[in-house]
A and B are shown apart, each in its own frame.
Chain A
Amino acid sequence: MTSQPLILGIETSCDETGVGLVRGTTMLANAVASSVDEHARFGGVVPEVASRAHLEAMTPTLHRALDEAGVGLEDVDAIAVTAGPGLAGALMVGVSAAKALAIAVDKPLYGVNHLVGHVAAEQLENGALTEPVVALLVSGGHTELLEVSDVASAAKLLGGTIDDAAGEAFDKIARLIGLPYPGGPHIQKAAADGDPSSIRFPRGLTSERDMTRHRYDFSFSGLKTAVARWVETAERDGVPVPVADVAAAFQESVADVLTRKAVLACQERDIGTMVLAGGVAANARVRDLARERCAEAGIELRQPRLSLCTDNGAMIAALGAAVVEQNLEPSAPDFATDSSLPVTQVLV
Chain B
Amino acid sequence: MLLLALDTSTPAVTVALHDGERAVAHSTHADARRHTELLAPAISDVLAEAGVDRREITGVAVGIGPGPFTGLRVGVTAARTLGTALDVPVVGVCSLDIIAREVTMREAPHGSPFLVVTDARRREVYWSAYDSAGVRTRGPEVGPASGIPDALPAAGAGARTYRDAFPGLLEPEFPSAVFLAAAVVDGAVDTCEPRPLYLRRPDAAPPAARKPVLTPVHPSR
Chain A positions within 8 Å of B, measured between CB atoms, are: 41-44, 46, 48-49, 51-52, 55, 58-59, 62-63, 73, 88-89, 92-93, 95-97, 99-106, 175-176, 225, 228-229, 232-233, 236, 333-337
Closest chain-A Cβ to B209's Cβ sits at a distance in Å of 11
Q: What chain A residues lie within 8 Å of B204 (beta carbons)?
A: 42, 46, 48-49
**Contact of B85 with A105 in the complex, beta carbons under 8 Å:** yes
Q: Which of B19-27, B71-79, B120-128 contacts A (4 or more CB under 8 A)?
A: B71-79
Interface residues of B in 59-99 (CB under 8 A from A): 69-70, 73-82, 84-86
State whether B77 touches A93 (Cβ < 8 A).
yes
**Is B175 an interface residue, CB under 8 A from the partner?**
no
A42 near B207 (CB under 8 angstroms)?
yes
- Verify if B132 is at the interface (C-beta below 8 Å from A): no
With the chains together, A96 CA to B35 CA distance in Å?
Answer: 9
Stretch binding the partner chain, chosen from B39-47, B136-144, B182-190? B39-47
Chain B residue with the shortest CB-CB distance to A224: B213
With A59-B84, A228-B213 as known contacts, state yes or no: A103 contacts B40, CB within 8 Å.
yes
Residues of B within 8 A of A (CB): 34-41, 43-44, 47, 54, 69-70, 73-82, 84-86, 196, 198, 202-207, 210, 212-214, 217
Q: How far is the CB of B202 from chain A (nearest CB, A)?
A: 4
Ordered by A's residue number, 7 sampled pairs between the chains whose C-beta atoms are within 8 Å are A42-B204, A42-B205, A43-B206, A46-B202, A48-B202, A49-B204, A59-B81
- Give CA–CA (A58, B77) in the complex, Å: 8
Q: How far is the CA of A25 from the CA of B138 in the complex (A)?
A: 56
Residues of A within 8 A of B40 (CB): 96, 99-100, 102-103, 333-334
A333, B74: Cα distance in complex, Å = 14
CA distance A120 to B180 in the complex (A): 43
A103 in contact with B73 given A49-B202, A52-B198 (CB within 8 Å): no
Task: Tell me, rounded to whole Å, the shortest Cβ–Cβ distance linking A210 to chain B.
Answer: 21
Contacts of A101 in B (CB 8 A): 81, 85
8 residue pairs, one from A and one from B, having the closest CB atoms:
A104-B85, A48-B202, A99-B40, A100-B81, A100-B78, A46-B204, A96-B77, A43-B207
Contacts of A236 in B (CB 8 A): 214, 217
CB of A59 within 8 A of CB of B212, answer no
Task: Say whether, besides A55-B76, A228-B213, A100 and B85 are in contact (CB < 8 Å).
Answer: yes
CB-based nearest B residue for A225: B213
Cα-based distance from A96 to B34 in the complex (angstroms) = 12
Min CB distance B27 to A, Å, is 13
Q: Are A333 and B44 in contact (CB under 8 A)?
A: yes
Knowing A58-B80, A92-B70, A233-B214, the reply to whether A103 touches B44 (Cβ < 8 A) is yes
CA distance A311 to B43 in the complex (A): 30
Q: In this complex, what residue of B is CB-closest to A39?
A: B204
By a CB distance below 8 angstroms, the chain A residues around B85 are 73, 100-101, 104-105
Nearest-CB residue, chain A, relative to B86: A104
| From B34, B39, B84, B205, contact of A63 by CB (8 A) | B84
* A228 (CB) vs chain B CBs: closest residue: B213
